[in-house]
Chains A and B, each alone.
Chain A
Amino acid sequence: MTLAPLSDQLAADAPGRRRPARGSGRAPGRVPIGYVFVSLYALLALAFGIVPSLYAVLLAFTNPTGGFAGVDNFVKVVGDFRFWPAVLHVTIYLIIWLTGLVIFVVALALIVHAVRVRWASTTLRFVYYLPGALAGASSVLLWLFVLDPTASPVTGLLRLMGFNSFVQVIQPGNLPTIFAIIAFWTGAGGWIVIMYGALNNISTDVIEAARIDGANTVQIAFSIQLPMLRKWIAYMGVMSLAAGTQLFVEPQLLSQASNAVVPNDYSLNQLAYQYAFQQNDFNGAAAISLILLVVALLLSWVFVTRGGLFERE
C-alpha cells in the first residue's frame, strides 16, 4: 500500500544513495550503526560471559600466589575423595532423568496432540506446564513435603512402597530418582508444550495420506511423527544434559533439610561451592567450574554448529 510508491522512489533514486538504504545502516566514513545498538549487549557479554570464563581459566591454572600451576589444580580436584562419588551421583541422576524425560515427554506430547477436543487439549497442556512456575528452591521445598510421610498428600503411596519416615525416603540410593522426579515435575511441562508445537508443524497432508494408506495412530506416531520430532528430542536431550550436570539446589536444600543425611558435597557444583566457600580455595573451585563449563560449552557448540535447529541467517 504505502510501500509501493516508496519503493518506486527508491528505484528512481541515484545509484550512489542506494547503499545506505539497503539496510546496511552504514553512513560513509562512520562506525556502522549496528555497533551502537549492540554495544551495551557486547559490554555485558564481555563482563559476565567472556571475562569471567577467561578469569576462571587463569585461576584454574595458577596457584594462590599467582604462579603458574600447570594442571596441579585439576589433579587435586580430580584426586579429591569427593570428586568421583559426585560424578557418579550426577551421572546416575542424569541417566534416570533423561530416560524418563524423553520417554514421558514424547509420549505425553503425542497423546495430547491426538486429543481432538480443543479445550481438553489446552487444559492438559496448561496443567502440565503450570509447575514450571515453581522452579528452584520453591519446588524443592514443596517436594520435601510430598516426600515426608508424616505430612505428605500421598502418604498411602509412600507407605505402600515401604517408606515410613522422611529419613527412609531420602536414603542415598533413592536420591537420583528423587531429584529426577523433582526436575521432571518442574521442567517436563515446558518441553511437552514445545513438542506439541513441533507436532503441530507437521503437515496434516502427510498424516492424512498415511491414514488413507491404512496406518493407525501408533504406526503414524512411530513412522512419521517421531522421526520428524528427532531434532527437537535431541535439543531437549542436550539442553537437559547440560542443565543436569549443574545439579545444585536440590541436593543443597535436601542436605539442609535432612540434617546432613544428604551430604553437602553430593554434586559437582556443590563440591565447587565447598572449595570456594569452605576451603577458600578459589583455584580449586575454578578448576571444577571450568570442567563443568567446558562440558556445557562443548554440548552447546556441537548443537549450534551441527544441530541445524537454530537459525543463524
Chain B
Amino acid sequence: MTMTALLSERRRRPALRAWGGRSVAGIVLLVFVLFFLIPMVWLLFAVTKSSRALIVTDPFSPGSWSDFAANWNQLFGFQDGAVTAWMGNSALYAGGALLITLLVSIPAGYALALTEFRLRNPLLVMTLVVMLIPGTALVLPVFLELNSVGLIGTPLSVILPMSFFPFGVYLTYIYFSTSIPRDLLAAARIDGCTELQVFTRIALPLATPVVALVAFFSFVQNWNNFFLPFIMLPSSDGYPIQVGLTSLLAATPAFNPSSAGSDSIQLPTLALGTIVSILPVLIVFLFSQRFLVAGMTAGGTKE
C-alpha cells in the first residue's frame, strides 16, 4: 500500500475519533487540576472564617477580615507564642542544615567528579545507594546511636543528620562531571593555582546553578521533615513547626474532644497553622519553578 493511500484511508474516521480522544484527555486533565487545586484553594478561604461559618457557609465563599484576624491571634497566642518559636526552630534547623550541606556536598561532589583517589568509586556507590533509600529508613538507627551517646534533644541532633545529604553530592557530581571541562582546571594548575585555588577560583564560580539546586532540595526536605525531629526532640520548646502542628492538632476539640479548654484551637485556626507551616517552602516553590523543572530531571542521565 502506498503512503498516500494509507494516509487518506486513515484520515476519515480518525478525525472524529481524535476529537473524542481530545475531549477525554481534556476531561482527565481538568479532573486532576481540580483534585490538586481544590484542597489548596479551599484552605485559603477557610482561614478567613469563624469555626461556625466554616461549617455552615459555602466552602468557597470568602469570610471576613475580622475572623481572619481572630484566627491569626488565636494561632500566635497559642501557648504564649509557641508557633513563633516553632517557626524559629524550623528556620534554625533547615537553615543550619542547609549551610553545612553546602559546605560538605559541593567540595565532595567536585572531588568525586574531577579528582582521582582510591576510595572514589566506593564513595560514589555509597552515595547512590543511600540517596535512593528513603530518608526515614535511617532515622531510628540514628536515634539509637545518638541516644547511646546522650545527644538527644539538642539542635545538633537534627541538624547534623539532615546535613548528610547524598542527593546533593550526586547533583553536584553530575554537574561538575558534565559541565566543566577538565582542561580548564588543568590550565589553571599550569598557571600555578594550588588545588584549593582551582576549586575556589575556577570550579566554584561556575557552580552557581547547582549550588542553588542543592540549596532548594535541602531546604524543602528539611523544612518538611517530620519523623527525624519528632523522634529526636522530646520537648515542645525544640519542636520545628511540622512537629508543632501535632500539638495544634491535639489541642483542636473538633478532632480531639478531650482537649476542650482555654487554650484550644478552632478548625480555621488549625487551617491557618497549616498555611503558616508551609509558607516559606511555598514562597521558595513559587520563585523557583522554572529552574526546578530543569533541575529535577538533571538527577538522571539522558537516555
Task: Tell me the A residues contacting B by CB distance below 8 Å.
Answer: 2-3, 6-7, 9-10, 13, 20-27, 32-38, 40-42, 44-45, 47-49, 51-53, 55-56, 59, 104, 107-108, 111-112, 114-115, 124-138, 141-146, 148, 150-155, 166, 185, 189-190, 193-194, 197-198, 201-202, 212, 214, 216-218, 228, 231-232, 235, 238-239, 242-243, 245-246, 248-249, 253, 256-259, 269, 272-273, 276-277, 282, 285-286, 288-290, 292-293, 296-297, 299-301, 303-304, 309-312
Contact = CB atoms under 8 A, between A and B. Distances in A.
B120 interface: yes
B59 A133 contact: no
Nearest to B247: A256
A133 to B, nearest CB: 5
B301 interface: yes
22 contacts: A3-B181, A6-B191, A22-B182, A25-B114, A35-B111, A37-B107, A38-B107, A38-B112, A41-B107, A52-B144, A130-B40, A131-B39, A133-B281, A137-B277, A216-B14, A253-B246, A256-B246, A286-B144, A304-B132, A309-B300, A310-B128, A310-B301
Given A131-B36, A197-B296, A59 B224 contact: no
A249 B54 CA distance: 26
A48 B143 contact: no
Interface of B: 3, 6-7, 10, 14, 17-18, 21, 25, 28-29, 32-33, 35-43, 46, 54-55, 59-60, 103-105, 107-108, 110-112, 114-121, 123-126, 128-134, 136-138, 140-145, 147-148, 160-161, 163-164, 166, 169-170, 174, 177, 181-187, 189-191, 195-196, 198-199, 220, 224-227, 231, 242-243, 245-246, 249-250, 252, 254-258, 267, 270-271, 273-274, 277-278, 281-282, 285, 289, 292-293, 296-297, 299-303
Contacts of B300: 232, 235, 309-310
Contacts of A299: 132-133
Contact of B255 (A42, A49, A232, A257): A257
Contacts of A36: 111, 195
A53 to B, nearest CB: 6
Given A48-B142, A154-B38, A25 B195 contact: yes
A21 B39 contact: no
Given A202-B303, A276-B140, 20 more contacts: A2-B187, A10-B186, A34-B120, A35-B119, A38-B117, A44-B160, A49-B164, A55-B141, A128-B32, A133-B220, A145-B43, A151-B267, A193-B292, A194-B299, A201-B302, A288-B140, A300-B130, A301-B129, A304-B125, A311-B177
Contacts of B142: 48, 52
Contacts of B186: 10, 21-23
A288 B143 CA distance: 14
B303 A155 contact: no
B28 A289 contact: no
A220 to B, nearest CB: 12
A51 B149 CA distance: 13
A45 B130 contact: yes
A48 B161 contact: yes
A292 B29 CA distance: 36
A142, A193, A231 — most chain B CB neighbours (10 Å): A142
